[in-house]
Amino acid sequence: MNYGKYKQARNASWQCLIDYRISNLPVKVSQIAKQADIVLLNNSAVNLLSENESGITLMQDDKLYIVYADEQSPQRCRFTIAHELGHIFLGHLFAKNGKGFATTDDAEHSANVFARDLLAPACVLHELHATNAAAIANLCDISLEAATYRAERMAELERRNAFYLHPLERQVKEQFAEFINKEKTYHSRRYGRKNRNSEKLELLEYYYIIFDIMCQ
């Protein structure tokens, strides 16, 4: 995928977060779909997916439907829905039979970039210092596999300090500001308690040593 299409997908994810007023992690893809008047369907209820399909978008009477393989993990389902939203918001062409989008490598890569950046916005991860796969998976409610790919990209962005160069990303940061501050405060208090407990333990050990010496 060329860089122009990469930027298009990245920018579309930022615009989606802004337009649908997403300001917390994990991103609620069901909320975006509902606001966009897109119906989400469990494949277990409609049985429209083939064995190797995770999701598909259908159009019927000018109404959009995303069918996803709900037997997969919730994290995988969230990524599948975000991927299909990527196809929709990027304006990809439907297949001639109206079932799903015309499959091309560029379209699939673009939808994956959109899904990755929608579910795990880099600027929010950067502000919270969540740059390893485990932290990203936990914070964004995505699979460890998806989080690993995101962590690899985050390492490159951190190395180049490539944040806030685009006005849309700056707007996303502002939109998430309250969430970021709450998370920072929570972790500060949590680790602050751990540090204080460690100090108390060290003090007790010190007094124990003094007492032991006096008793000898």
Helix/strand/coil (H, E, C) string of 105-170? HHHHHHHHHHHHHHHCCHHHHHHCCCCCHHHHHHHHCCCHHHHHHHHHHHHHHHHHCCCCCCHHHH
Asked, for residue 194, whether it belongs to a domain, the answer is no
Alpha carbons 29 and 19: distance in angstroms, whole number: 13
pLDDT tens for 129-182 read 999 999 999 999 999 999 999 999 999 999 999 999 999 999 999 999 999 999
The per-residue DSSP string of 171-214 comes to HHHHHTHHHHHHHHHHHHHHHHHHHHHHHHHHHHHHHHHHHHHH
Structure-block tokens of residue 71:
């037997």
Block residue for tokens 């122009």: 4
Rounded mean pLDDT, 55-64: 91
142 and 120 Cβ atoms separated by less than 8 Å? yes
Tokens of 95: 């297949």
Cross-strand partners of 63: 60
- Give the total residue count for the chain: 216
Q: Which helix (H) or strand (E) holds 80?
A: helix 74-89
Q: With respect to residue 102, please indicate whether it lies within any of the assigned structural domains.
A: yes
Q: Is the pLDDT of residue 197 over 80?
A: no
Flag whether pLDDT at 215 surpasses 60: no
In whole angstroms, give the CA distance from residue 5 to residue 150.
18
**118: in domain:** yes
In a domain, 123, yes or no: yes
- Classify residue 187: in a domain, yes or no: no
The pTM (predicted TM-score) of the whole model is 0.85
Has residue 186 been placed in a domain? no
Residue 216 lies in a domain: no
Q: Which residues pair with 67 in a beta bridge?
A: 41, 56
**DSSP one-letter code for 39:** E
Instruction: State CA 73 to chain mean position distance.
Output: 15
* Cα–Cα distance measured from residue 7 to residue 167, given in angstroms and rounded to the nearest whole number: 13
Assigned domain for 215 exists: no
Domain of 167 in residue numbering reads as: 3-175
Average pLDDT of the residues of the chain? 88
Residue 39 pLDDT > 60: yes
Cis omega before residue 26 (within 30°)?
Answer: yes
Task: Say if residue 45's pLDDT is above 90.
Answer: yes
Domain count, the chain: 1
